[in-house]
Amino acid sequence: MKAVITDGKGNVKLMEISDPQPDSYQCLCKIEACATCTGTDKKLVNGQMAWANQYPAILGHESFGTVIQCGNSVRNIKPGDRFLRPFAAYPGTLLDGYASWMGGFAEYGLVTDTKAMLKDTPAAAISPYCVYQQMIPQEIKIEAADATMLVTLKEIASSVRDLNIKFGSKVVVLGAGAVSMSMCYFAKLSGAYPVIAIGRRDQPLEDCRKTGADFVVNMQTENMIEKVMKYTEQSGADFILDAIGDNNLIIESGMMLAKYGAICSYAGRTGTVPLSIDKIKGNGRWKYIQGGPDETSAHQYLLDLVRIQAIPIKNFYSHAMPFDEFESGFKMLVEKRASKLVFTMQ
């Protein structure tokens, strides 16, 4: 099968490797589409994530596919079932000598019937990544490319919920990519006003308007602190949501905080340099939250939003391309000619 391999030195290559071989509790899936998690994937490709230390590796973790074959012990999954996050190889394992950063950019992947496995062997060792492999029922009508967006959307929906963003919360989003757009959407869905997106390029900022931002600020040409204070009527932001992972920007953003406000860091920061919390100068009492998603808990919520057509799902990716064009497509990301790509394997 074809799969995307990265060496952690800035290179990606579409290569032929062996198909994954399911064990008796696993199912083989035909992966139909996989999206870039733009910030994370670029950091993985450049060896900039502290926890990513095995290369070469199979890239991709926002995948969607259909079960085509089930192992002999599988009882709760059947051919035709559709899943998020089928992986060519589970993290911590190898396929053809390649490590796995989930391995969603591949033509085939695996999902596991964990219920059957635990029923038969209660002490069985199950990959912690299996929990993210959630089924999309047949009655939910969604295209393969659109389905890949549910991964990021579930992550952000759960994060916004857990922060208790509510009616009237004043929210600043640092960044203008797909994660930032999702933050704007769910903050607005929660009743936040104003929602302010801060970025460096006009077009991505305008995209944030489409998914909920009331105001946008280009930090390259505008004073972001002055603008935020203006748009919040000098009170500052109750929540600053970091979708970039830039330590210096996080530190500077403290000057935009409301009293008792919170800086919520969601993005994975580049490298191993820790954030110096003591450098942040907030307005009176404030707090810093190192956020993290509870993706699986938001699964039904997102399915319901899709079912009632309440989410503009195509707004969250900029391009859909054939898998054979991965190398040129990823170059578009690096050169900032695209914000989020979906590659289709059909």
pLDDT at 273 over 60: no
DSSP 53: -
pLDDT at 274 over 60: no
User: At 248, is the secondary structure helix, strand, or coil?
Assistant: helix
Mean pLDDT of the chain, nearest integer: 93
Domain ranges of the chain: 2-148+317-344, 151-290
Class of domain 2-148+317-344: alpha beta
State residue 346's pLDDT score: 76
pLDDT at 249 over 80: yes
State residue 140's pLDDT score: 97
Q: Cα-atom radius of gyration of the chain, to the nearest Å?
A: 20
- Rounded Cα–Cα distance for residues 165 and 266 (Å): 15
pLDDT tens track for 4-59: 999 999 999 999 999 999 999 999 999 999 999 988 899 899 988 767 788 999 99
State residue 271's pLDDT score: 45
CATH 3.40.50.720: does it fit domain 151-290?
yes
pLDDT tens track for 64-123: 999 999 999 999 999 999 999 999 999 999 999 999 988 999 999 999 999 999 999 999
* Structural contact between residues 282 and 258, judged by C-beta atoms closer than 8 angstroms: no
Reference 232, options 170, 284, 287; nearest CA is: 170
Integer distance in angstroms from the first to the last C-alpha of the chain?
A: 13
pTM score:
0.91
pLDDT tens track for 56-77: 999 999 999 999 999 999 999 9
